[in-house]
Amino acid sequence: MMTDRYVKGALQTTITAIAIHRTGDSPFFGESATIVRLDDEGGGPFIVIEQADASQLSAIRLDPDECEIVMREARRLLEQKAIEGVEENKA
């Protein structure tokens, strides 16, 4: 078992973004790439949905299949134990 004697507490991982894209398309800047991510500006976590190639600012175009995946992954982000109680800890 690997341990790091310099770490003062348990480490955990938290997924903060998920790329949804067609096979063969880049998850970073591909034409079909949709990024679903968590953000927090001090009032608690919320979902941000971005598209790399959106021709209109703040416009998001999702077909029915994409929409279903985006909603599923947004729920997955919000259900993480790592963000539970974030708002209570800010008080």
| Cα–Cα distance for residue pair 85/78, rounded to 1 Å | 11
Across 56-80, b (16+ Cβ under 10 Å) vs e yields: eeeeeeeeeebeeebeebbeebeee
Q: Express each pLDDT in 5-22 by its tens digit.
A: 666 788 889 999 999 999
Say yes or no to pLDDT of 57 above 50: no
- Which value, to the nearest 10 degrees, does the dihedral of the CA atoms of residues 6, 87, 34, 23 take? 50
Residues 6+ apart with CB under 8 A from 62: 34, 70
pTM over 0.95: no
